[in-house]
Amino acid sequence: GIIQRIQKLEKEHALAIEDYEYLIENRTPETDDWIRHKAVQITRSIYGRDIYVRGLIEFTNICRNNCYYCGIRKDNPHVRRYRLSQEEILSSCKTGHALGFRTFVLQGGEDAYFTDDRLCAIVSEIHERYPDCAITLSVGERSAESYRRLYEAGAERYLLRHETADADHYRLLHPSTMSFAHRMDCIRTLRDIGYAVGIGMMIGAPYQTARHLAEDLKFIETFQPEMCGIGPFIPHGQTPLKDFPAGSVDLTCYLLALIRLICPDVLLPATTALGTMDPKGREKGVLSGANVVMPNLSPTEVRKDYQLYDNKICTGEESAQCRGCLERRMLSIGYQVVTDRGDKKNI
Ligand code: 5AD
Ligand code: FES
């Protein structure tokens, strides 16, 4: 049953795909509670009640890709496209540093304007001005040479969700211009270069089965990422997948807990998508084993234009408001947001 499998997972940090599938298909409210409790205990034994924050700067919504689920896909004509200048990005970092952020996440679409020269210049400048901060990039698929240059410029971490560990499922979510093999190559290249790598997937993505999620867990188990971003799929009304239902908060929290059991020291964000699906979503995420939150640090003027999915929260708030809001939310459940780079602890 569930109990035997969880006990095995706790001891060995690994299971057969069939066992992961069983854990996903045979949940009950009671086993959910029990597994979440275990995940929270493990998190506390490594990270205490500290919650790491990352300042998320959404610096361009221009994208060459056409992922079927994503609101800023190239073929969505309703998006007001923008890109921040180097000065605007640096100004967001300045605000963020004053607010206590010691990690900046530069996230954007795959925008050809940001050549290696331009992006490296931005990364080096942030690195020089804020030597006490970690720089995380989340700018999609690039060449190995590009990843190497950005790393040398001072980027230490890279988020590139695998989206799904199943090649057939990948094809249902992406046009044929994108390839599962290439994405996996990028992820491996990032690891080889020396980045701390974040992977992840949407929960309740269209066409996703328990088997697919089990494959995702197996991939997480074997790849051993430093970070793992998971959040519910939320349909965007101007995309081909607009009529699919959103993923569930409970299932997302359950997977957060399982991932914590698989990788005890992994950095696990309670995502904005989770907070969008449930006003207490991020708190629920932390109470399922998450230990990171990523408040928005983008200039307020552009926030409404970075809508990967509908009803995204925090698009009207100032950065300081988001920081304060999350601090209070975490305090309300007995956790504190810390001023720290928030590197992964190795156990
Ligand atoms: N719902 C939830 N998450 C989404 N993402 C993109 N579109 C959506 C959506 N409609 C996630 C993808 C991507 C990350 C930046 O945002 O997993 O990797
Ligand atoms: Fe942005 Fe709460 S985190 S308003």
| 186-214 per-position pLDDT tens digit | 999 999 999 999 999 999 999 999 999 99
Domain residue limits at 73? 2-338
Instruction: Identify whether 125 is part of a domain.
Output: yes
Q: Which of 70, 73, 138, 170 to mutate to test the pocket of ligand 1 (most atoms within 8 A of CB)?
A: 70
Q: Among all ligands shown, which has an atom nearest to the Cα of 279?
A: 2
Instruction: Identify whether 347 is part of a domain.
Output: no
Q: Which of 308, 309, 313 to mutate to test the pocket of ligand 1 (most atoms within 8 A of CB)?
A: 308
Q: Provide mean pLDDT across the span 99-103.
A: 98
Is the distance from the beta carbon of residue 325 to the nearest atom of ligand 2 less than 6 Å?
Answer: yes
Other beta carbons within 10 angstroms of residue 163's beta carbon come to: 21
CATH of the domain at 148: 3.20.20.70
Does the pLDDT of residue 347 top 90, yes or no?
no
Which residue has a Cα nearest atom 1 of ligand 2?
322
Pairing of strands 55-60, 103-108: parallel
Q: Tell me the three state secondary structure of residue 123.
A: helix
Q: Which of 309, 311, 312, 313 to mutate to test the pocket of ligand 1 (most atoms within 8 A of CB)?
A: 309
How far is 292 from 282, CA to CA, in rounded Å?
Answer: 10
Centre of ligand 1 from the C-alpha of residue 173, in Å: 11
Q: Among all ligands shown, which has an atom nearest to the Cα of 70?
A: 1
How far is 92 from 108, CA to CA, in rounded Å?
Answer: 15
Ligand 2 atom with the shortest distance to the CA of 322: 1
Q: Provide mean pLDDT across the span 98-115.
A: 98
Which residue has a Cα nearest atom 18 of ligand 1?
161
Instruction: Identify whether 343 is part of a domain.
Output: no
pLDDT band at 321 (very low <50, low <70, confident <90, very high): very high
Q: Provide mean pLDDT across the span 173-193.
A: 99
Centre of ligand 2 from the C-alpha of residue 316, in Å: 9
Please tell me what DSSP assigns to residue 60.
E
Instruction: Identify whether 220 is part of a domain.
Output: yes
How far is 241 from 255, CA to CA, in rounded Å?
Answer: 23
Is the distance from the beta carbon of residue 318 to the nearest atom of ligand 2 less than 6 Å?
Answer: no
Instruction: Identify whether 344 is part of a domain.
Output: no
Please tell me the chain's helix, strand, coil percentages from 3-state DSSP, rounded to the nearest 5. Answer: 45, 15, 40
Ligand 1 atom with the shortest distance to the CA of 138: 15
Euclidean distance between the first and the last CA atom of the chain, given in angstroms as a whole number? 29
Average per-residue pLDDT in the chain? 98
Instruction: Identify whether 241 is part of a domain.
Output: yes
Q: Provide mean pLDDT across the span 306-315.
A: 97
Is the distance from the beta carbon of residue 198 to the nearest atom of ligand 2 less than 6 Å?
Answer: no
Q: Provide mean pLDDT across the span 172-198.
A: 99
Whole-number percent of the chain with pLDDT over 90: 99
Instruction: Identify whether 317 is part of a domain.
Output: yes
Does the pLDDT of residue 171 top 90, yes or no?
yes
How confident is the model at residue 7, as a pLDDT?
A: 98
Does the pLDDT of residue 225 top 90, yes or no?
yes
Is the distance from the beta carbon of residue 314 to the nearest atom of ligand 2 less than 6 Å?
Answer: yes
Q: Are 178 and 65 in contact (CB under 8 A)?
A: yes
Q: Are 197 and 173 in contact (CB under 8 A)?
A: no
Q: Are 100 and 50 in contact (CB under 8 A)?
A: no
Instruction: Identify whether 345 is part of a domain.
Output: no
Centre of ligand 1 from the C-alpha of residue 199, in Å: 12
How far is 276 from 309, CA to CA, in rounded Å?
Answer: 9
Which residue has a Cα nearest atom 4 of ligand 2?
322
Ligand 2 atom with the shortest distance to the CA of 314: 1
Q: Among all ligands shown, which has an atom nearest to the Cα of 300?
A: 2
In total, how many domains does the chain have? Answer: 1
Centre of ligand 1 from the C-alpha of residue 242, in Å: 13
How far is 165 from 336, CA to CA, in rounded Å?
Answer: 34
Pairing of strands 55-60, 336-338: unpaired
pLDDT tens profile 228-254: 999 999 999 999 999 999 999 999 999
Q: Which of 54, 271, 319, 322 to mutate to test the pocket of ligand 2 (most atoms within 8 A of CB)?
A: 322
Q: What sign results for the dihedral spanned by CA atoms 106, 75, 147, 294?
A: positive
